Amino acid sequence: MSQPELLKRVVDELERAGVDYMLTGSLASSYYGEPRATHDLDIVTSIAPAAVARLCGTFTPPDYYLDEGAAREAVRNCGMFNLIDVRSGDKVDFWLLTDSPFDRSRFARRTRAEVVGSHLCLSTAEDTVLAKLHWAQQAGGSEKQFYDALRVYEVQFRSLEPDYLEHWAHILNVAPLWERLKREACPVDID
């Protein structure tokens, strides 16, 4: 199964189960900025314990690996669990929605878009920039995460909400990376 097919299947299952979610990570930054290859799909979700069994019953061995115990533990602790397509090696990281103000804000602002052939809920461009900067900082200055944020900023420059970005950059303590991003950016003029 291709990565777009896996994404479509996961999104269809989440929507059938009535589970709120949003696509984030490298696929979101590729949508808004510069496409790049990735073997994992990052999805923030507010999945309930009852929906875990349904998800596990849909993605079964030998084609998939999904540990129901790990998924239930992640739901209890607002952690993360994985689904792996054994045939392709592609992975879906399910990140549970936390009570952090930024997580709540970006989840409330998610939008619908067509991404690699699927209509789905997606992090906004601003929240993708901020999340990538946050991950860059958490990963000890990851240039890959910073570059993703930079490219989204450059491509989406005209449509971004600068006050929102400034506000959350300070709250997330990524202001130095945010200032660096603005200094290095060469916005793309796409008309």
**Which one of 122, 137, 169 terminates a domain?**
122
Q: Residue 191: its pLDDT value, please? A: 58
- Do 113 and 156 have their domain in common? no
- Do 42 and 65 have their domain in common? yes
Residues 6+ apart with CB under 8 A from 188: 154, 155, 157
How far is it, in rounded angstroms, from Cα 20 to Cα 177?
Answer: 30
Phi, psi (degrees; rounded to nearest 5) at 13:
-65, -45
How far is it, in rounded angstroms, from Cα 127 to Cα 110?
Answer: 9
Q: Residue 190: its pLDDT value, please? A: 66
Q: How far is CA 50 from CA 17, 47, 81, in A?
A: 10, 8, 16
- Do 147 and 54 have their domain in common? no
**Averaged over 17-43, what is the pLDDT?**
92
- Do 57 and 77 have their domain in common? yes
- Do 20 and 80 have their domain in common? yes
Q: What order of strands is seen across the sheet that includes strand 21-24?
A: 64-65, 80-85, 91-96, 40-45, 21-24, 118-122, 111-115
Checking if the pLDDT of 52 tops 70, the result is yes
- The lowest-confidence range among 99-103, 148-152, 177-181, 185-189 is 185-189
Checking if the pLDDT of 135 tops 80, the result is yes
- Please state the pTM of the whole predicted model: 0.93
